[in-house]
């Protein structure tokens, strides 16, 4: 076809939203021109009830220790945890998840499974303050051990590493202690093989068969956890966690990990971090018919805050865009340090 044979384009009025109805592109533009229309037709909806707020409990009273790498967040004494629980309920959040920083650490992280431990105290305070609020506990050891790893340390072929099997019994004790304190849901995060099965058996045997498990099934060995290590005082004292957390290059392995945890009794699974692993969330949503959580981790939060404080980005719009992307990828629930901010923005 020669150029002279190409039909002349339809005359289109580009000066307003009511362009020529015969021009196909305008059909999409008509659905964008008004804010109310855009809200009406959104495929992905954000809701405060889908957001979980992470909190860090520490000993003392009236203590609010700011976390330098996570401006706006702090380690909180139990009385402040209770206040945060009341606020979370007021905002209509889906719940809170508690991490503990004990007064004393030891090789086995004994405070984590003590009925008088810091998280157990925080659970009771939160449930007293907001009985209807979902209270979740992180089940792990890195915050409680003096070596900063997620389990019992043993000599493994001439090097120190976590003893997976020896750690399972302690994880089960920890989860059972959290349930006795009043936790509504437990979330094992140590990436130990068999952890879900061990915890499920302990909960069922202890009279807590109703307590669900949200497993950190696909937890990657990520550089995005940096600020969390300050927040939870959990930096490893030697080596790193790559022998038990996942390699960031692998997605098929994540699907296997998720499948195994579901087989062992996980009621929900989690992908962590969130934004660098949206493809993993999407793949899990396509393959598994269980609720999927995603953790927008400390490094994601810190980057957004740093950019906003340097006037490099619009903080509120980036918060909402990032959370929407995680939901759009397939996450049913998002753990985010922006839970309260998002609830305010959603109004």
Counting the structural domains of the chain, the total is 1
- Tell me the C-alpha distance between 100 and 144, whole Å: 8
- Tell me the C-alpha distance between 70 and 263, whole Å: 36
Beta-ladder partners of 97: 54, 136
Active site residue 340: no
Q: SS3 letters for 93-133?
A: CCEEEEEECCCCCECCCHHHHCCCCHHHHHHHHHHHHCCCC
- Tell me the C-alpha distance between 165 and 172, whole Å: 12
Q: What pLDDT is stored for residue 238 in this prediction?
A: 66
Q: What pLDDT is stored for residue 221 in this prediction?
A: 94
Instruction: Tell me the pTM.
Output: 0.89
Q: Would residue 9 count as lying in a domain?
A: no
- Under a CB-based contact definition with an 8 Å cutoff, are residues 294 and 331 in contact? yes
- Under a CB-based contact definition with an 8 Å cutoff, are residues 183 and 135 in contact? yes
Q: Would residue 7 count as lying in a domain?
A: no
Q: Would residue 218 count as lying in a domain?
A: yes
CATH of the domain at 87: 3.20.20.70
The neighbour count for residue 41, using CB atoms within 10 Å, is: 9
Q: What pLDDT is stored for residue 156 in this prediction?
A: 73
Q: What pLDDT is stored for residue 26 in this prediction?
A: 63
Active site residue 219: yes
Q: Would residue 179 count as lying in a domain?
A: yes
Q: Would residue 17 count as lying in a domain?
A: no
The catalytic residue among 50, 124, 173, 219 is 219
- Under a CB-based contact definition with an 8 Å cutoff, are residues 118 and 74 in contact? no
The catalytic residue among 50, 105, 272, 340 is 272
Q: Would residue 338 count as lying in a domain?
A: yes
Segment-wise mean pLDDT, segments of 10 residues, the chain, 347 residues = 46 50 66 88 94 97 95 97 98 98 88 94 98 97 82 74 87 97 96 94 98 97 90 73 85 98 98 98 98 97 97 98 98 98 96
Range(s) of the domain holding residue 174: 47-346
Q: Would residue 314 count as lying in a domain?
A: yes
Q: Would residue 211 count as lying in a domain?
A: yes
Q: What pLDDT is stored for residue 129 in this prediction?
A: 98
């Amino acid at each position: 076809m020669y150029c002279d044979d190409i039909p002349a384009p339809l005359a289109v009025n580009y000066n307003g939203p009511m362009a020529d109805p015969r021009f196909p592109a305008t059909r999409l533009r008509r659905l964008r021109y008004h804010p109310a229309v855009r809200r009406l037709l959104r495929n992905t909806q954000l809701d405060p009830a889908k957001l979980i707020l992470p909190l860090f409990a520490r000993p003392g009273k009236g203590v609010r220790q700011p976390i330098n790498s996570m401006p706006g967040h702090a380690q909180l004494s139990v009385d402040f945890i209770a206040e945060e629980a009341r606020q979370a309920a007021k905002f209509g959040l889906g719940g809170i998840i508690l991490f503990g920083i004990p007064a004393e650490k030891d090789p086995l992280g004994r405070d984590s499974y003590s009925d008088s431990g810091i998280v157990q105290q925080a659970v009771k305070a939160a449930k007293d303050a907001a009985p209807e609020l979902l209270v979740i506990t992180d089940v792990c050891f890195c915050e409680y051990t003096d070596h900063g790893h997620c389990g019992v340390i043993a000599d493994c072929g001439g090097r120190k590493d976590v003893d997976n099997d020896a750690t399972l019994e302690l994880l089960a004790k920890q989860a059972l202690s959290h349930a006795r304190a009043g936790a509504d849901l437990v979330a094992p995060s140590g990436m130990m093989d068999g952890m879900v099965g061990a915890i499920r058996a302990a909960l069922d045997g202890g009279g807590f068969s109703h307590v669900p498990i949200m497993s950190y099934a696909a937890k990657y060995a990520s550089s995005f956890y940096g600020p969390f290590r300050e927040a939870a005082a959990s930096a490893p004292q030697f080596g790193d966690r790559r022998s038990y957390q996942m390699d960031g290059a692998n997605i098929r392995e994540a699907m296997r990990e998720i499948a195994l945890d579901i087989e062992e009794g996980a009621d929900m699974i989690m992908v962590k971090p969130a934004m660098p692993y949206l493809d993993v969330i999407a793949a899990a949503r396509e393959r598994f018919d269980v609720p999927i959580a995603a953790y927008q981790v400390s490094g994601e939060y810190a980057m957004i805050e740093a950019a906003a404080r340097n006037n490099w980005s619009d903080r509120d719009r980036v918060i909402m865009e990032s959370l929407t992307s995680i939901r759009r990828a397939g996450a049913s629930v998002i753990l985010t340090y922006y839970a309260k901010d998002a609830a305010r923005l959603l109004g």
